[in-house]
Amino acid sequence: MANIVAIIIIAAVFSLFLIMIITASAFSGDQKPNIKNNTVLTLDFKTNIIDSPTEDQEDLFAFSSKQKNVLILDMLEAIKKAKTDDKIKGISIETDGIRAGFTQLDDIRNALEDFKKSGKFVYAYGNSVSQPAYYLGSVADQYILNPAGGIDLKGLSIEVLYMKDFADKYGIGIQVIRHGKYKSAVEPYMREDMSPENKEQLSTLLNDIWSINAKKIATSRKIDSAQFRVVVDSLYGVIPDLSIKYKLADRLMQKSEYDQMIKTKLNLKEKDKLTKVSFKKYINSFSEDSSKKDNQIAVLYASGAIYNGEGYQNVYSDNFIKEIKKITEDNKVKAVVFRINSPGGSANASDEILFELEQLKKKKPIIVSFGDYAASGGYYIAMAADKIYSEPNTLTGSIGVFGMIPYFKELANKNGLSAHAVTTNANSNMYSTINGVTPGGVSIMTKSVEQTYKRFVHFVTENRKKSFEQIDEIGGGRVWSGTRAKEIGLVDELGTLQDAITYAAQKVKLKEYGVTNYPKKLTAFEQIFKDIDEDEISARLIKNKIGTENYKMFEQITNPKLQEGVMMQMPFDLKFD
């Protein structure tokens, strides 16, 4: 009896706890802050820039978390509004590190350049400043550095971990089938070093992106391009005095002195308080729900890797197709902007999604906007587009296919294990965890990879209006920057998500319209009660233990979703750090 009472009490307390969380979440979203005069809009270390609402899943049980997610579209709207808002006198960038991708940083930087045309100031302050934070902050009228700080300005690099020797040492076999000499997603399991083809594509890609970013920093800081290269190669930014000498920063100050500098700029008296407002609060002060308007532009987000089945993060085909059908059936939606920020994934799931998008396209125009990644399966699902916008730094293309199957025969034999099968047909036991793939299995998988590649190229030829030979020449699994993708015809225009929305509205002749996001952010209730299976929980625990980069390698060998069939996936993850 006592146990039953205890259980009832625990259940009641837990229910009350959940109600408190949901209520607090609901009220926090409804509050509209009052913006005072002489306010400085501030980007601080608490702000995370995210590309889509599906990334905005906060841990409701982590009360100590101070991180605030801001959608890139909202961020840009805030800067645009602040330009003409009399209460906002300037923008202060106060972050040593920023979680944002190449394209997001570019969009914010361009918005800040436009903001400066208003005559209002943009200042930046840093302590130990990461390269992405400095890339953004270098747009400021003045860059102020802490006297004991430094700027981690060093250029770009990609380091690929090769595992063939490791796999051989421990008796792990990996059967790889691929199409495309540049399709290097599986190269670390096939080689002991980087192939000339992979080195060529990575070198071209890095230099394309860095040349754009370096030019922007050098121009903003008024540094000669040749001199800027010397500054970066010599790591002068690490030393505060050298940062001043070589024009990376303007002055060395403590944070309180920086705040006083802003107060002086605003003509505030010593007793007056400096008023700052975060982007999150500023956005809440003016944001309105425009989803009730009769005419809507739907922004459909495909953010993350592409998988079969159901899931809440990344792009799961079953869930995603439901979102496509919602848009198809909603008469208020007149046009669709399809925002892709994906390195690809399952070929089958990508094909399912593309088919449903083609059905949607019969009723409503689809304008595609690329984020940081639109590669392999991420590029494949863009082939329903009426028009494709890419950003200069978008990793684009990777038109290639592969299949990868691990097996553990040597490892098993070394430990006294063996597996023997009884079959009815030649390939009944086509794949064995111990013995690997049968010769017949390898043959049919090779045909499947080749067929999938041809299907991939077919859709690209249809959309890009080019021959198979033309696409095959620039395909082969190669990844391009958005700038080069435009040059070779893989995209139509270089532009932002907002450019794509504006074009979509023009295409359907809308002057007044609302913008609705799909999929929507999960409510607090949905976040708590969503169905998380044991595999997902285990994956999170392992990822926390071994780190993100090591987990990606581990996942390629162990994740069954990555072994369901032929894959269209980008070979690497490029980060600006």
Collapsing DSSP states into helix, strand and coil, what is residue 319? helix
Return the pLDDT at 47. Answer: 86
Q: Which residues of 361-384 are buried (b: 16+ CB within 10 A; e: fewer)?
A: beebbbbbbbbbbbbbbbbbbbbb
| Identity of the residue numbered 240 | P
- 519, pLDDT greater than 90: yes
168 in Cβ contact with 404 (< 8 Å) = no
Q: Which two tokens stand for residue 348?
A: 């089958």
Angstrom distance (rounded) from CA 69 to CA 9: 35
Q: Could you tell me the CA-to-CA distances from 96 to 51, 136, 151, 260, 510 in Å, in that order?
A: 20, 11, 9, 20, 41
Q: Report the distance separating Cα 329 and Cα 404, nearest Å.
A: 39
174 C-beta neighbours (distance < 10 Å), count? 19
Res. 62 pLDDT band, cuts 50 70 90: very low
- pLDDT of residue 461 exceeding 80: yes
Q: pLDDT tens for residues 304-330?
A: 999 999 887 789 999 999 999 999 999
Tokens 């690490």 identify what position? 238
Q: What is the pLDDT of residue 180?
A: 60
Cβ atoms 150, 238 nearer than 8 A: yes
Confidence at residue 60, expressed as pLDDT on a 0 to 100 scale: 47
Residue 522 to residue 512: CA distance in whole angstroms? 28
Question: Locate tokens 């944070």: which residue?
Answer: 255
* pLDDT-wise least confident of 35-49, 240-254, 264-278, 543-557: 543-557
- Which residue, among 12, 539, 485, 39, has the nearest Cα to 279 in the 3D structure? 39
Name the helix (H) or strand (E) containing 374. Answer: strand 366-375
Rounded Cα gap, residues 289 and 296, in angstroms: 12
- Helix segments in 364-496, DSSP class H: 377-380, 409-414, 439-464, 468-474, 482-487
3 state SS of 574: coil
Q: How far is CA 75 from CA 51, 287, 547, in A?
A: 10, 11, 29
pLDDT for 63 equals 44
Please, which contacts does 534-542 make with residues 24 or more away whose CB atoms are closer than 8 Å? 536/311
- The 8-class DSSP code of residue 44 comes to E
Q: Which residue has the higher pLDDT, 369 or 58?
A: 369
Does residue 552 have a pLDDT over 90?
Answer: no
Tell me which residue of 423, 374, 417 sits closest to 399, measured CA to CA: 374
Close Cβ partners of 483 (under 8 Å, ≥ 6 residues apart): 208, 212, 392, 494
DSSP string spanning 465-520?
T--HHHHHHH-TT-EEEHHHHHHTTS-SEE--HHHHHHHHHHHTT-SS-EEEEESP
Instruction: Let me know: does 179 contact 477? Beta carbons within 8 Å.
Output: yes
Q: What is residue 432's three-state secondary structure?
A: strand
User: Cβ neighbours of residue 128 under 8 Å, at least 6 residues apart?
Assistant: 96, 149, 150, 152
Q: Do the strands 39-44 and 88-94 form a parallel or antiparallel pair, or are they unpaired? A: parallel
Q: Which residue did the predictor score with more confidence, 532 or 422?
A: 422
Binned at pLDDT 50, 70 and 90, residue 31 comes out as low
Q: How far is CA 445 from CA 236, 285, 324, 404, 431, in A?
A: 52, 56, 31, 10, 11
User: Using alpha carbons only, how large is the chain's radius of gyration in Å?
Assistant: 26
Which string of b and e fits 452-483 if b means at least 16 CB within 10 Å? Answer: bbebbbebbbebbebeeebbbebbbbbbbbbb
- Cβ contact 38:268 at 8 Å: yes
State pLDDT tens for residues 195-226.
Answer: 888 888 889 999 999 999 999 999 999 999 99
Contact in structure between 397 and 479 (CB atoms under 8 Å): yes
Burial (Cβ within 10 Å: 0-12, 13-18, ≥19) of residue 9: exposed
Cα–Cα distance measured from residue 80 to residue 185, given in angstroms and rounded to the nearest whole number: 40
Q: What is the mean pLDDT of the chain?
A: 86
pLDDT at 32: 75
Place of tokens 């002991």: 192
Asked if 564 and 348 count as a contact pair (C-beta separation under 8 A), the reply is: yes
CB 112 within 8 A of CB 133: no
Tokens of 300: 């459909």
The arrangement of strands across the sheet holding 401-407 comes to 173-179, 401-407, 567-569, 344-346, 306-307, 315-316
22: number of CA atoms within 13 Å, CB side? Answer: 14
Instruction: Name the residues annotated as catalytic.
Output: 183, 376
> What are the helix and strand counts (H, E) for the chain?
21, 24
Grouping H, G, I as helix, E, B as strand and the rest as coil, residue 170 is coil
Give pTM, 2 decimals. Answer: 0.83
- DSSP notation for 185-235: GGGGGT-SS--HHHHHHHHHHHHHHHHHHHHHHHHHTT--HHHHHHHHHTT
pLDDT digit string (tens) for 250-300?
Answer: 999 999 999 999 999 999 998 899 999 999 999 999 887 777 788 999 999
pLDDT digits (tens, 9 = 90+) for 95-130: 999 888 889 999 999 999 999 999 999 999 999 999
* 486 pLDDT more than 50: yes
Condensed to tens digits (0 to 9), the pLDDT of residues 425-455 reads 988 888 888 888 888 988 888 888 889 889 9
pLDDT of residue 228: 98
**Sign of the Cα pseudo-torsion (280, 284, 285, 291, in order):** positive
Residue 449 buriedness (CB in 10 A; 0-12 / 13-18 / 19+)? buried
| Per-residue pLDDT reduced to its tens digit, 145-199 | 999 999 999 999 988 888 888 888 888 888 777 776 656 667 888 888 898 888 8
